[in-house]
């Protein structure tokens, strides 16, 4: 998608601190970390949010979760939180599906 920040980051058109990449997804550190470890995993394909997941794109989303398991193992993270905000009221500010992976501090529940 032309004017999407995360499409541009995945394409390497906007710099980011890469954690992992493959044909289907890209992972990079959040610019405004909310925990000692905070990175984002995004599909390369533009999907607006988790509310736009359907049979045509769900394999890519499953792959993102495989990648999350792989990266966190490699980083030695035994406990972490995966968050995806959907819509403005829930705090979504970038409308390209992304999974926040947060670790390294105690987490509260329920989230604010």
Q: What is the DSSP secondary structure assignment for residue 89, as one 8-state letter? A: G
99 touches ligand AMP (CB under 6 A):
no
Q: Which helix (H) or strand (E) holds 19?
A: strand 18-21
| Binding residue for ligand AMP, selected from 32, 54, 88, 106, defined by CB under 6 A | 32
Integer Cα distance of 31 and 79 in angstroms: 21
* Residue 4 interaction partner, one of Zn ion, ligand AMP, none, beta carbon < 5-8 Å per kind: Zn ion
What would the x/- binding string for Zn ion be over residues 32 to 71, using CB under 5 A? --------------x-------------------------
Q: Site residues (CB under 6 A) for ligand AMP?
A: 5, 16, 28, 30-32, 85, 91-94
């Amino acid at each position: 998608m032309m004017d999407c920040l995360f499409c541009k980051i995945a394409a390497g058109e906007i710099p980011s601190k890469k954690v992992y990449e493959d044909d289907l997804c890209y992972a990079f550190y959040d610019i405004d970390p909310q925990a000692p470890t905070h990175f984002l995993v995004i599909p390369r394909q533009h999907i607006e949010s988790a509310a736009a997941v359907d049979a045509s794109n769900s394999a890519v989303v499953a792959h993102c979760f495989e990648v999350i398991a792989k990266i966190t193992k490699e980083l030695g993270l035994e406990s972490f939180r995966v968050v995806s905000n959907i819509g403005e009221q829930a705090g979504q500010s970038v409308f390209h599906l992304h999974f926040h992976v947060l670790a390294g501090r105690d987490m509260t529940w329920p989230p604010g």
